[in-house]
Amino acid sequence: MTMTIDQFIQTYNGRAVDVDGAYGGQCWDLWSRYAQDVAGVPQSATNTVNGYAGSVYTSTWDQQPALRDKFDRLPAGTVPRKGDVAFWGNAPATPYTHVAIVIADQGGSLLCLTQNPGATHQASITKNGLLGYLRPKTAAPAAPSGIAGAWRVNVAKLNVRAQPSTGAQIVAQYSAGQTVNLDGWTSRADGYDWGRYIGAASGQHRYIALGPAGTTDYLTR
């Protein structure tokens, strides 16, 4: 099940993404995760040809039918929109090329979801050196809306996690019949839709799976 663009931003902002387990979280890792989660492209079709992210735009797209099936390649002069993937060549601000996900066009720069330096975060990046964009042809439907408010747990045990992911730390657990008050935020990851609330003791956001993607099977009103 793929994510929407907004769900991807909500899920990965602030997290280090390392798809291939090599060299830590690079800009390519965030791109590959995005292509897989939002467009359903296999990882093998997201790879560089020379170790530099810019080659995905200049070469990989030509060589990988699975990538062309899901993304259109657009020139640097295109007016970008949210969810486009921007690629830079060798330039003063991007000496080893770069790739990032567009959130908004800012004229001479792009507000992007980007990684390296640092974990995934939002930042403005100059358009100088821009090669162009890959634009997703389709996006997944939104996760269920209208979930704010009180719900009763509808399964024997429901794990509470520190992040919206099945791999995140379990910090608490609800039992059948207990009530949880959700704030209305949703995300989709690891095959599940997720909701959240503020932990009374920790003051931190806590996350529970609502059910398999597209459902709220684990909860009832």
Of the candidates 187, 132, 133, 138, which has an alpha carbon nearest to the alpha carbon of residue 39? 138
Burial 188-220 (b: 16+ CB within 10 A, else e): bbeebbbbbbeeeeeeeebbbbbbebbebebbe
Catalytic residue positions?
27, 98
Judge contact between 88 and 129, C-beta under 8 A. Answer: yes
* 186-189 β-sheet, strand order: 170-175, 157-161, 205-212, 192-198, 186-189
Of the candidates 6, 15, 12, which has an alpha carbon nearest to the alpha carbon of residue 119? 15
* Bond preceding residue 117 cis, omega within 30 of 0: yes
Residue that is written with structure tokens 């991807």 in the block: 8
Residue that is written with structure tokens 């207990």 in the block: 178
CA distance 164 to 9: 12
CA distance 194 to 146: 13
CA distance 59 to 20: 20
